[in-house]
Structure 1
Amino acid sequence: MLDTILPFATQETAGPVHNELWRDLVPLLAGRARVRVSRDNGRNYRQRDERILDATLPSRPAAVMLHDATTGLAKILAIDFDSGTRGVDQVEIDVRRTQAMLSEHGIRWIHDRSPSAGEHLYVPISGGITTGDAVDFLRLLAFRCPTVDPMPHMTVQHGCIRMPGSPHKLGGRQELLMSPKMALTVANSPAPRPLFDALHRSLEHLRPATPEPEPVGSVNDRDGQSEMNAGILTVARNGFQPGGKYDSPSEARFAVLRAATNAGFDTPAIYQRMNDGRWPGLNTLFSRYRSPLKELQADLNRLQSKGHRGGHNTVVKNNTSQPKAQGGTRSVRSVGFYEWLKIWRNASHARELTYGPSRVGLQLRLVLRALGEAASKSQSSFIEFGCRALAIATGLDHSTVSRHLRRLRAEAEPLVRLSSPAHGKYADTYELVVPEGLVNGSLAISYRVGKLHALRPVFRALGVVAAFVYEALEQGMKTAPEIMRSTGLSRSATQDALAVLEGHHLAVKAREGWIETGANLRFLADLLGATDDVEQQRNIYAQQRFLWVSWLNTRLVTHSGFAYPDQDYPFDEFEPSEDTYPPPG
């Protein structure tokens, strides 16, 4: 596997202090009494591995849920300092800087450290904190403290963090850096909300300037989208409020979705906002469902079946107007994800024909198709597949994939753009887009049938040209001229590829023209050794991944000097001495 991690071999036995922390302290910090126990030694904390949080300390890495599933509120602000981004020294600087800020505003915290030298500060807040407020604060804090990771608070449904006493994948445990007595005191004395709000406001000067002010009474939540009513956005951010405008959570949910589709948001855009901290209230309204994405799509389909379509006005069911571009870059108007992907596929096919039949042109086409295939698998226009994963999908070298990705995103009207750069163990995130110049042409033709493929393994042996010709046959092309027009290949290359396909019983020439035989491509790939080629490439990249993760972990220096259980945390180090205050009167 590409995501190989270090073996979980040196787990220490939990001591009495760890068990007491898990029993007494952790329930005071948990947003809901649920914990996810990792089955792969700390690599993933899946929803299916979630169980009731009880007094028994898990034997494997465990992350406690931060937010209440009904209200969306967290009892604490969990500040995660990731040592894998800027190193241990920067973590130390950021932690001390944050502690000084908290103390300056009269806010106390609970402090722990992991064996990987990452650190957590837990800040109990009276009345709780929403996902939106937490993420907004952490993003502002990250401008000053670059090792801060807002991920634990990103979603109500999945937001979680390892707490004191939890085992770690490298061995050892989350160690409390203060006495348990002091930690319990802080947990039972949350900071008044006005103090946190004052701290939040003190970071406002770090917020990037917006290009222009929003109109009164409405908010433009994304460039290129229509305006949404501020009241609706309040529901999207804060969730259902009893006694408010809506009689039930369901009514509030549909009101937000109706406004969002009117404003031009498609399914991926809505789901992205639900999970990136911008619309945490809407996320809360879907939290009771096992698969919020599927329920979101079902709700949008219900709106469409009732005659609602995206756009500035609600239209009747027999709408004949075409979808329009979102600011010329994001996507077409509000349609289901797979319908949007088909439009993108038409646009990418039109762009592919401009690359020509050269070796570089064919490679660009493969990379573009690999991105589309990744989007289909992940059901999102945001692609988090690394260059090596795309290299396996295309049969290319990862350095070639990287070079072609740079070229694709540098085009005048790109079909893909960089959403966020790589950091640490995480790859670049790309977003598929439909340029405005390709929208009309993509909508004017029928959707391309069949699955979207990069390079199926058998065509590593038979050749890239044969792959494009075979796909044309799957699309219903029967003659060489039709195949040439569909693929952009020359006559000689097309004829040679047809001969290869015929020789391997993948195509046959009938009275009406060429047709594909429906042969088992996987069996032929095994027979030609292409499957072994894929596996060899996968193993090479898995080893490289292992070495990279090992290098990252060896760069982390675990600091000693944990506080003993009978030692109180030195808050006085962060508080001004009494003689700094003027005498009363």
Structure 2
Amino acid sequence: MRFVEDFSPSGGRHLYVPLQDRMEAAEARALVEALALMATSLDPSPHQNITDGCIRVPGSAHKSGGHQTLITPLSQAYDILRRRNPTRTLVELRAALAPELARKRALKAREAKTVAAQRTGGLPALPWGTGSESPLRRVARTGLYDTARYQSPSEARMAVLNHFSACGWSLQHVENELAGQFPGLAALYGSAERQARLLPYEWAKAQTFTSTVSSPPKAASRKHGEKSALINNTSQTLTTGGAGKSSVAGVYQLVNDLENVLYGVLDHRLQKRGREGLSLRLLIRGLLGYMRAKETDILDVGCRTLAAAMGKHHVTIARLLPILAAASDGILTKIADARQKSADVYLIQLPEQYQQLARELTWRKGKIHAIRPVFRALGDPAALVYEAIERGQHSPTTAEIVRVSGISRNACAAALAEMETLGMIQRHGRHWKVTAVNLSNLAARLGVLDDYQAHIGRNRRERAAWHAYLDRFRDGHMNEKDLYDAERDEYWLPPDDEPAIWFAA
């Protein structure tokens, strides 16, 4: 789009984008607020109301002295104002700002819901400026840091980079956001040359630091013949013979077979449960994803971990797990209850009645996912629709997506339209294909990564409070009942038809 630029004595700049057709004030406000989410130095206030917010045009006197100076050459500015931007360019601008427009709509809906809850007495009024943004992300966005905690901009930079490294970011992600939503981090370097020279080096240090902190300590070596004992309730039980731990290849094959059963039988069975069925279908996908990641068929993943992966409340996950175990027809079985710091333990297996079906169906390409961060904003139906396109044997039509995903026609059409607007999918004739758009970057533009980090932080605080509560009952004294249970047989008698072998102590 063509624009005219001027310069203010106070250091600011004005950009004038003339249009051929008139634009409603509400539409102009939405576009400017979406631009403000991408360019944090932009002031959207002149377009946020229809009565105030006037600006000084080139040549106007400034209150601090001097005049507003035109930067664009006068002849070129006259040509731009005479031959204005057509409607086509405005459509392209809306398409480029689609994630920010969706993010702004979600923020306004959340604010309206919060205000309505406060008016009805459901929520206490929050002080101005409070929110879910973490302190380090605020530093990256504004460039302001607590001098009592960080002695120099270098320490503040390293704290921010450590945070991004722990969140799974890459150097490319950081470099992209320096000119996007985190210009404050770039300002902490002082100059572009200093940033280009120090950023790769400091990012390598941040990755080294986070990998060292997150890696578990190495187990102490045992002497030959020395037996080990369980030191807490989360230690793995040592096998004494017979069937041991499944191999990695065996676990992967089991996951692929279970995916065939999921797509062939279980999905269609859970579709009949309505809205609850959507959550159950995504929950079993999340369990299979953790099964592949942990390379085991025995999972002890807590409800809060699953809730963070699915974008739901942990009470909802705790309610859905028993329902899924009952509806899975033997695929998911609970084998141990939660106790103290350990979660419920579930066994995932392939029942005998589904083994022939799993062998006859062809494995699908790609990995199975529960809820990727971008779908925390788009919803569960969009996740299943995207999966039907991404993991289909061929590029499906809309009718095939409705049939495979089990989503209603209207919900499927709405999800397809929204994802096409965001550039996640594209249509070729009657068929749909996924694009090469980066879903993590799109999630950051939609603002859901902040909600995800707030969810993780809330889980950590709740776990810390629970662990502190449990530690109150640890007095270090071991009672006799801790060693012996009167209701449990701790001896074994051989059958009558086998000779007894006794050993003298």
> For the pair shown, which has the larger CA radius of gyration, 1 or 2?
2
Higher relative contact order (CA 8 A, sep 6+): 1
Higher share in helix: 2
Normalising by structure 2, we get a TM-score of: 0.48
Higher share in strand: 1
Normalising by structure 1, we get a TM-score of: 0.42
